[in-house]
């Protein structure tokens, strides 16, 4: 973790930093797919994209590895903090831009790699599909998409895991989708401080969406979370390549 953590908001939960816009938490430890993104990004001359970057956990790691990064988030206050956290000598290698998935557009064949870590589950199925199709368009041939989504086995919605498994066995495309997130919040929690719906995913779902968009899959698996009490199935992760 870089030294400038004092720029982050205070957190009541060890290992997690709250977002400023009620979209969950940024982890303070990189998951394995985000680690691989940072390492790979550092080998490229092309700029890479970190979308849903929050305060820059992966952006900072990629910059330290030698990458040039476009850091995007729906919340400009996250980007202001990220920009301040970037060490002076790396500031010329980062750009920050407010961007909303799935609406944002970039020029085709712009990036060498794209990371979307723990942001896609805030989108419904059609918007996930549109976003991944756009990512395919934004990448140069040979470019890689690194995708991490919260799984049905983490968060307050893990109480719904058996229902997700039943719907998956029945062949539903989005078996983890929960239209009414508020039902899983502990008593006394203000629903206004949480998204209306949530769309947790497994590796099969992420891989299916990537293949439909034209990607080849390099790996698809469950991932451990970044907190002390995380399980081996907290997140779904995929690395995909544009042929
Ligand atoms: C749970 S945090 C994940 C942060 C970090 N990538 C990580 O893996 O820890 C989700 C981030 O995605 C951003 N976000 C949520 N919905 C978004 C959208 N539709 N478009 C772009 N960013 C979004 C939030 O502002 C927040 O910074």
- State the distance from the centre of ligand 1 to the C-alpha of 52, rounded, in angstroms: 4
For residue 192, the model assigns a pLDDT of 87
52 close to ligand 1 (CB < 6 Angstrom)? yes
CATH of the domain at 222: 3.40.50.150
Burial of 139 (0-12, 13-18, 19+ CB in 10 A): buried
74 close to ligand 1 (CB < 6 Angstrom)? yes
- State the distance from the centre of ligand 1 to the C-alpha of 170, rounded, in angstroms: 30
Structural domain including 205 reads 4-160+200-241
Residue 211 contacts residue 11 (beta carbons within 8 Å): no
Can you list the residues of the chain whose pLDDT is less than 70?
A: 1-3
For residue 41, the model assigns a pLDDT of 98
Please check whether residue 29 lies inside any domain of the structure.
yes
For residue 2, the model assigns a pLDDT of 47
Please check whether residue 169 lies inside any domain of the structure.
no
Task: Find, among 35, 37, 215, the residue nearest to 142 by Cα.
Answer: 215
Q: Looking at the chain, list the stretches that DSSP marks H as alpha helix, in order from N- to C-terminal side.
A: 32-41, 57-64, 76-85, 125-138, 161-169, 203-213
For residue 28, the model assigns a pLDDT of 82
Count of domains for the chain:
1
Please check whether residue 142 lies inside any domain of the structure.
yes
pTM: 0.96
In angstroms, rounded to a whole number, what is the distance separating the alpha carbons of residues 173 and 227?
29
């Amino acid at each position: 973790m870089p030294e400038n953590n004092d720029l982050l908001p205070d957190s009541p939960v060890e290992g997690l930093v709250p977002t400023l816009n009620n979209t969950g938490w940024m982890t303070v430890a990189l998951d394995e797919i985000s680690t691989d993104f940072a390492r790979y990004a550092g080998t490229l001359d092309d700029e890479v994209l970190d979308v849903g970057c929050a305060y820059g956990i992966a952006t900072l790691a990629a910059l330290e590895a030698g990458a040039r990064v476009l850091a995007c988030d729906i919340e400009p206050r996250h980007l202001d903090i990220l920009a301040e956290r970037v060490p002076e000598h790396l500031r010329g290698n980062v750009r920050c831009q407010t961007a909303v998935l799935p609406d944002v557009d970039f020029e085709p064949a712009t990036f060498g790699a794209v990371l979307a870590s723990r942001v896609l589950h805030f989108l419904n199925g059609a918007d996930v599909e549109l976003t991944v199709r756009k990512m395919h368009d934004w990448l140069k041939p040979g470019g890689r998409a690194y995708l991490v989504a919260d799984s049905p086995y983490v968060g307050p919605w893990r109480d719904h895991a058996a229902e997700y498994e039943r719907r998956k066995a029945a062949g539903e495309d989005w078996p983890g989708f929960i239209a009414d997130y508020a039902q899983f919040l502990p008593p006394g929690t203000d629903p206004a401080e949480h998204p209306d719906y949530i769309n947790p995913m497994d590796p099969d779902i992420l891989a299916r969406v990537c293949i439909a968009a034209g990607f080849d899959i390099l790996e698809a698996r469950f991932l451990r979370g970044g907190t002390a009490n995380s399980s081996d199935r907290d997140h779904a992760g995929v690395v995909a390549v544009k042929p």
